[in-house]
Amino acid sequence: MFSFSTARYRLAPQLANILAAWGRRAGLAWCLPLLLALAGPARAAALPEDTLVASPARPAQYLNDRFYSVLEDPSGRLPLSQVSSPAYAGRFATLAGTGLPPNIQHPRSTYWLRFTLRAAPGPATDWYLELYDSHIGAATLYRPTGLTCPAGLAYDSVLTGANYPFATRPLPYKNFLFDLPLRQGQPGTYYLRLRSDTPTSFRAMLHSGPGLLPEMSLQYWLLGGFYGVVFLMLVYNLFLFFFLKEKSYLYYVLYVLAGALLFLSEDGLGFQYLWPGSALLNHFIGVAAPVLLLLAFAQYARSFLDMAARLPRLDRAIRWVVALSGALLVLDAAVINSGFSFWLYLFPYGLLYYAAWRAYRGGLPSARYLLLAQALVAGSLAFLISRKLGLEFYNNAYTVYSLNVAFVVEVAVLSYALADKVKALMDTTLLTQRRLLKQLRKKQQAQNQLVIQLRENQLLKDQLNTELEALVARRTDELRQQNDTIATQNRELLETNSLLALQSAAIEQLNRDLSRDLQDQKEARLQAREFDFGEFSQLYPDKDACLRYLADLKWANGYHCRKCGHEKSCEAREPFARRCTRCRYVESATTGTLLQKCKFPIVKALYAVFLLHAHRGRYAPAELARVLELRPATSWAFAQKVLAALERRRQAPDYEEGEAWTFVLLDDAANADLETALETA
């Protein structure tokens, strides 16, 4: 570890340099005179500067305001010859006791610094002048050569500044460094001409050559350590972001990056090592870094504090304030250069601090780390501001590089805060997960049980189904067999039926044939006149049969009324008689036949006609009476009637030999004759 006590003088100006830059950029230059005015009344500047004695006993001396005087040249055109002339000597004035800040107050003016240096007696060494403000645009050091010229003392000059590439520097160091050739015992007056677009600081340090090297190495070593820590935190948290995908880490990395850029820009290391070729880029980074720092910190704090969810109204306000401040800062830096921008930082940072406090009170324990980190930086800034105000803390070793230390601690604390928050989050998540896991396990068990039951049910169902299927199959089989049997039986029945039908048809046919044969036979015999009365009375057994025969014979071609010729009739009271439906004339079956008005049984009469017709009238009357069991007279009379009819038929033009007896039977004339005879008689 390095010792602050040995480094305090050498390192403190670096810190003051950074603060000066911040103050300059933030408008601190504007507010400081006000504060100083409150601290005490300003005294008039009249005394000339003291001569600075360069002694090896004090290898590093701060060029405080007693040792130089200032001339402001608003035109910026005064040459050295004029400035160093006795006429202008009285215009230089020291700042000591005036309360004025040791920096460029009007960026359009050129400032001349005059200081006198004398080497202490002793061995000669090299001396160097270091300017701390890395933002001085152009600095020209006029050094007395010890020679004289017609205009007076001769001077040589060295030009450097932030407006020129790093390679043009007389000595390759992060700050502006001039070597001062001193002549033993003789004081020399030096002029430093400064020009800058921003209110840069006059702070400077006198270094002895032997003391400068360890001083420089210590500074680089310390800064190297500082950037090393910052870089490690940056990379570490970037990895954390990649692993955890927690956005706060990304904003944290951006914040650290912006902070590192600001420090690199302020201490000149960035210009020396990272962007040495471009003075413009150097200037741009110097302007942009604080704005970036504000934006990144605001994002980080918003994300870290979960402000959108916890403090939505304040979050909205902060977003507006930060955006507006950022825009105004950019506008101010690019166009206006008002010097009021300090307040533009103060307000958003203050709001963010308030938000952290609200979040802490609202139940976010990790917010206390944010409060702590911000308090650290604020405290460190307060030290620097107080020094800026003229309260000299130079001898306090702990203010040395306090801003760097504060930043490193802040970075560490913020990282720890993130880890703490993420751990709390993970703890909650783990707890929730464990609870969820328990629930899931329970659910799983219930499901398993359900699955087992379902499986059992399925098994039962399957078994039942199998049994049912077997049963159904068996039943189906049986039914099919029965069906087959029934079908077979049906087929057999059908076959039997058709056979029976055929047989019955055959039998019917046979019967029909038989009865026809019988009838034919009988009729044939009738025709053949071979009947005796016994047989004949089998054919026409009674009166009814005879009457039916006669009626059928008579009306074979339809009814025809004998009186009116009407052709429709109905049954009459007498068997087989017809009654005309029109004239009501009743015609018996015998009317109009040979048997009309016959006085003996009609069967005998019919047989008598048959016999006489069959024997062509040549039948003995006695024989007839005997056959018919009639009295001879009755028989004879009827025979006469039949014979007459036979004779008439034989005479008829359509008579055929051997024709049926029906023609004779239906002979009507006999009756007419008889009736006529009876009527006449």
Query: What is the three-class DSSP state of 189?
Result: strand
Q: Rule CB under 5 A: is residue 561 a binding residue for Zn ion?
A: yes
Q: Rule CB under 5 A: is residue 568 a binding residue for Zn ion?
A: no
Tell me how crowded residue 463 is: count the other CB atoms within 10 A of its CB. Answer: 10
From the list 45-53, 326-334, 504-512, 559-567, the region that binds Zn ion by CB under 5 A is: 559-567
What spatial distance separates the first Cα and last Cα of the chain, rounded to whole Å?
197
Query: What is the three-class DSSP state of 298?
Result: helix
Closer residue to Zn ion in complex, CB, 10/554: 554
From the list 53-61, 276-284, 578-586, 636-644, the region that binds Zn ion by CB under 5 A is: 578-586
Closer residue to Zn ion in complex, CB, 358/566: 566
Q: Rule CB under 5 A: is residue 435 a binding residue for Zn ion?
A: no
Closer residue to Zn ion in complex, CB, 313/573: 573
Q: How far apart are CA 306 and CA 324, in angstroms?
A: 21
Query: What is the three-class DSSP state of 183?
Result: strand
Q: Binder to Zn ion among 559, 585, 636, 663 (CB under 5 A)?
A: 585
Q: How far apart are CA 214 and CA 140, in angstroms?
A: 26
Nearest to 71 by CA among 47, 95, 107, 43: 95
CB of 544 to Zn ion, least distance (A): 25
Closer residue to Zn ion in complex, CB, 315/668: 668
Sequential DSSP letters for 406-473? HHHHHHHHHHHHHHHHHHHHHHHHHHHHHHHHHHHHHHHHHHHHHHHHHHHHHHHHHHHHHHHHHHHH
Q: How far apart are CA 575 and CA 589, in angstroms?
A: 8
CB of 580 to Zn ion, least distance (A): 3
CB of 569 to Zn ion, least distance (A): 9
Closer residue to Zn ion in complex, CB, 310/566: 566
CB of 668 to Zn ion, least distance (A): 17
CB of 177 closer than 8 Å to CB of 130 = yes
* Helix, strand, coil share of the chain (percent; to 5): 60, 10, 30
From the list 113-121, 482-490, 566-574, 606-614, the region that binds Zn ion by CB under 5 A is: 566-574
Q: How far apart are CA 126 and CA 226, in angstroms?
A: 30
Q: Rule CB under 5 A: is residue 355 a binding residue for Zn ion?
A: no
CB of 670 to Zn ion, least distance (A): 23
Closer residue to Zn ion in complex, CB, 126/567: 567
The gap from C-alpha 11 to its chain's centroid, in whole angstroms, comes to 62
Closer residue to Zn ion in complex, CB, 140/569: 569
Q: Which helix (H) or strand (E) holds 645?
A: helix 632-651
Q: Is 153 left (phi over 0), alpha (psi -120 to 50) or beta?
A: beta
Closer residue to Zn ion in complex, CB, 310/582: 582
CB of 679 to Zn ion, least distance (A): 22
Q: How far apart are CA 105 and CA 107, in angstroms?
A: 6
Closer residue to Zn ion in complex, CB, 416/585: 585
CB of 597 to Zn ion, least distance (A): 20
314-334 b/e (C-beta count within 10 Å ≥ 16 → b): bbeebeebbeebbebbeebbe
Q: Rule CB under 5 A: is residue 7 a binding residue for Zn ion?
A: no
**DSSP code, position 174:** S
CA angle 565, 566, 571 (to 5 degrees): 120
Closer residue to Zn ion in complex, CB, 332/587: 587
From the list 15-23, 531-539, 553-561, 627-635, the region that binds Zn ion by CB under 5 A is: 553-561
Q: Rule CB under 5 A: is residue 37 a binding residue for Zn ion?
A: no
From the list 160-168, 459-467, 582-590, 612-620, the region that binds Zn ion by CB under 5 A is: 582-590
CB of 250 closer than 8 Å to CB of 295 = no
CB of 666 to Zn ion, least distance (A): 19
Q: Rule CB under 5 A: is residue 563 a binding residue for Zn ion?
A: yes
CB of 577 to Zn ion, least distance (A): 13
CB of 564 to Zn ion, least distance (A): 4
CA torsion angle for 242, 248, 250, 253 (degrees, to 10)?
-120
Look-up of token digits 């409060």: 371
CB of 584 to Zn ion, least distance (A): 7
CB of 561 to Zn ion, least distance (A): 3
Q: Binder to Zn ion among 154, 564, 570, 652 (CB under 5 A)?
A: 564
Closer residue to Zn ion in complex, CB, 143/578: 578
115-135 b/e (C-beta count within 10 Å ≥ 16 → b): bbbbbeeeeeeebbbbbbbbb
Q: Rule CB under 5 A: is residue 232 a binding residue for Zn ion?
A: no
Query: What is the three-class DSSP state of 396?
Result: coil
CA distances from 160 to 82, 462, 675 (A): 22, 100, 190
Q: Rule CB under 5 A: is residue 580 a binding residue for Zn ion?
A: yes
Q: How far apart are CA 57 and CA 120, in angstroms?
A: 9
CB of 585 to Zn ion, least distance (A): 4
Query: What is the three-class DSSP state of 590?
Result: coil
CB of 581 to Zn ion, least distance (A): 8
CB of 76 closer than 8 Å to CB of 195 = yes
From the list 198-206, 344-352, 562-570, 617-625, the region that binds Zn ion by CB under 5 A is: 562-570
Closer residue to Zn ion in complex, CB, 131/551: 551
Alpha-helix residue ranges (DSSP H) falling in 245-311: 247-267, 269, 279-304, 307-310
CB of 583 to Zn ion, least distance (A): 3
- For residue 71, what are the β-bridge partners? 112
Q: Rule CB under 5 A: is residue 455 a binding residue for Zn ion?
A: no
Using CB under 5 A, count the residues that bind Zn ion: 7
Q: Rule CB under 5 A: is residue 583 a binding residue for Zn ion?
A: yes
CB of 672 to Zn ion, least distance (A): 18
Q: Rule CB under 5 A: is residue 438 a binding residue for Zn ion?
A: no
Closer residue to Zn ion in complex, CB, 576/661: 576
Q: Rule CB under 5 A: is residue 630 a binding residue for Zn ion?
A: no
Q: How far apart are CA 528 and CA 610, in angstroms?
A: 11
From the list 312-320, 322-330, 520-528, 581-589, the region that binds Zn ion by CB under 5 A is: 581-589
From the list 169-177, 256-264, 576-584, 594-602, the region that binds Zn ion by CB under 5 A is: 576-584
Closer residue to Zn ion in complex, CB, 502/583: 583
Query: What is the three-class DSSP state of 401?
Result: coil
Query: Phi and psi (nearest 5°) for 517?
Result: -60, -45
From the list 75-83, 413-421, 584-592, 638-646, the region that binds Zn ion by CB under 5 A is: 584-592
Applying CB under 5 A, which residues contact Zn ion?
561, 563-564, 566, 580, 583, 585
